Amino acid sequence: MANTFTSATNYEMTFWGRKYRLAKLDTLLRKALVSEKICTVDRSQGKYINSPYGSQPTATVNTSLLGTYSPAAYTVTDDVLVVTDEVVVGEHVYGFESALNKFDFINNRFDEQANAVKTAIDKWNLNELCGGGNATYTTPAGGFTTAANVIPILSNLLSKVAGYENSYNSLYLVIENTDLPGLIQAFGAAGFSTADSWLKNGFIGNQMGIDFYIVRTGTFVDATTTAASGTKTWTNSGHRVFGVKGAATYAAPRGVQFSQFKRTGYTGYELSTEAYMGFKQWVSTQDLTVDITIA
């Protein structure tokens, strides 16, 4: 006897299917996104996130025990993160594509959309982070690809954030995959313990207290309100970014949303994935983010 599904049953299957896919997508993005690991993430549904800060007072050491002081004026600045952009991808899977193939097109397109959204979000956040840093550093000629440059570069970067209380938080360095040869050669030839670890285990994620994150070449780019940058303008080609984790905030209101629905006049289903984004490098912590220029 053939099975018969009522509209209620179909709705329940769709509901649980969407719930599973959203949970899977959210888990994938949290694990895969570099920006999730180096920024503070705000998942509230607010369009605006405020972070007021006051001017820094200066303490005076009196020349004797006077017991007096001169009140000083101070200012308060309202620093605001605004959710300004969205990343979206949509496709249509026809009925015959699902029915006449052993391959699961629905789940395949879901996985591909998840990867596309992940790449777009990370690129957007990392370029915003790179452009927002107040500290800057230019590498010696050859950048990270020259092994002899690696230790001097890292020592100079560490000096940029040393002395701040927040610098005791975890540090990060985001580079592109084409930068790797110099790092591998430098640490593979350094000190017995470090060299043995690199040679036995391959590239590892932390050296000198810095967590290394590798993204694909072409992540740091120049762009002006394009399909990659949305409302933003970047001049980050040939740049990388270093700093203290949590110094900037990435807003992801409601996380990522996935939709699957029927389309009038078409067989099969239309699939879409979307996410809203905002980013802010707070003025009070902008010295903890270093914009690196590759010479």
pLDDT value at position 60? 87
Residue 14 lies in a domain: no
Greatest mean pLDDT range, 53-62, 150-159, 179-188: 150-159
Residue 258 lies in a domain: yes
**pTM given for the model:** 0.82
Residue 22 lies in a domain: no
Average confidence (pLDDT) over 172-196: 80
Average confidence (pLDDT) over 204-209: 76
The per-residue pLDDT for range 110-168, each reduced to its tens digit, is 878 888 888 899 999 999 999 999 999 999 999 999 999 999 999 999 999 988 876 66
Residue 12 lies in a domain: no
User: Picking from 15-19, 77-81, 230-234, 235-239, which range would have the lowest pLDDT averaged per residue?
Assistant: 15-19
Domain count, the chain: 1
Could you list the residue range(s) of the whole structural domain that residue 161 is in? 33-293
Residue 5 lies in a domain: no
Residue 92 lies in a domain: yes
With pLDDT > 90 as the criterion, what percentage of the chain qualifies?
40
Report which of residues 100 and 95 the model is more confident about. Answer: 95
- DSSP states along 233-275: EEE-TTEEEEEETTSEEEE-TT-EEEEEE--TT-SSEEEEEEE
Residue 239 lies in a domain: yes
Greatest mean pLDDT range, 27-31, 49-53, 92-96, 211-215: 211-215
Residue 10 lies in a domain: no
pLDDT value at position 29? 61
